[in-house]
A = this chain, B = another copy of it.
């Protein structure tokens, strides 16, 4: 079933790409200056959408004209990328964006001009196409990096393999770069929520303690800033199985920023956030307010530095952090002038985080919105 769904999706994407090319061809046949329409991806066209609660790209577009000398190079590059993507899909392969760059790089015959000088020229063109076609990079058979692992109370059907995420030992399943429904299906879901853990070392603590088993949940980490795949996977778990999502981060501006990316997205991926962000996500910890609540000794907190304070002030101004609870947390952090890492809870005992802190937080519903 998944295989057929994948085939169907691929056919649709190829049709989209062909009609994109056919539009240009028609203009040429009519002896018009061929032009393509692309969404504007600058800050002026990016906004926080109150309805979907995600960062979004607006509907401003601009044209790329072949006969405008300022556009010619980019026009050529857009055509090359679109045609290579079609080829990749037809060969039933997935390639990295670096592969794509190399595959397309060549010196144009009779000139000294290269199609692309380096990857910083091909990447934005790919993003343009994603935005223009409203398709995820993964649907275009381009693989983004993915570095996270997942374990928990469900099975994953991936091609002909069924992966039992309750039987991954101490390892966990490496999240692949494409987790679209045509590729990845969920089976035997017995989990009741998703725990998104910032750090790999903390994920290992939760996995070693079989937290996901005792607490019927799924534990996932993106090992720092998560990749698209971890975010998309969590979004699907939320949307398709109605699972609540809790984020467990360091109590510092960086951890809180990662949380905001999981929840409503980032500016740089605004054109895909509707398919990546999970707006129901709640921040379960750490907070600087936990320091009193859980009697965490002062010695394991870390003094805020100038950069932290600057970041904190910026974040306090973001629309999605305007809620009272967040403003209070930011104020508390600034007033105490400390931050703390998840590992600091080890001071209270090796398994304090899995056996006391987290269960207590969930029981008391002590989340930030």
Contacts and interface: CB of A to CB of B under 8 A. Distances in A.
Interface of A: 88, 91, 93-96, 98-103, 105-107, 114, 143, 145-147, 149, 156, 158-159, 161-163, 167-178, 183-184, 200-201, 204-205, 208, 223, 297, 299-300, 341, 343-347, 350-351
A112 to B, nearest CB: 11
Given A96-B201, A169-B158, A176-B170, A347 B163 contact: no
The dominant DSSP class at the A interface is mixed
A317 to B, nearest CB: 31
Contacts of A107: 299
A10 to B, nearest CB: 14
Contact of A171 (B94, B98, B174): B174
B201 A99 contact: yes
- Copies per complex of this chain: 2
Contact of A99 (B102, B103, B346): B346
29 contacts: A88-B350, A93-B208, A94-B204, A94-B208, A99-B201, A101-B343, A103-B347, A103-B350, A105-B299, A105-B347, A106-B297, A114-B299, A143-B204, A145-B201, A146-B200, A147-B200, A158-B170, A163-B167, A163-B168, A163-B169, A169-B176, A170-B178, A170-B183, A171-B174, A172-B174, A172-B176, A173-B173, A173-B174, A176-B204
A195 to B, nearest CB: 16
A334 to B, nearest CB: 23
B149 A174 contact: yes
Nearest to A204: B143
Nearest to A145: B200
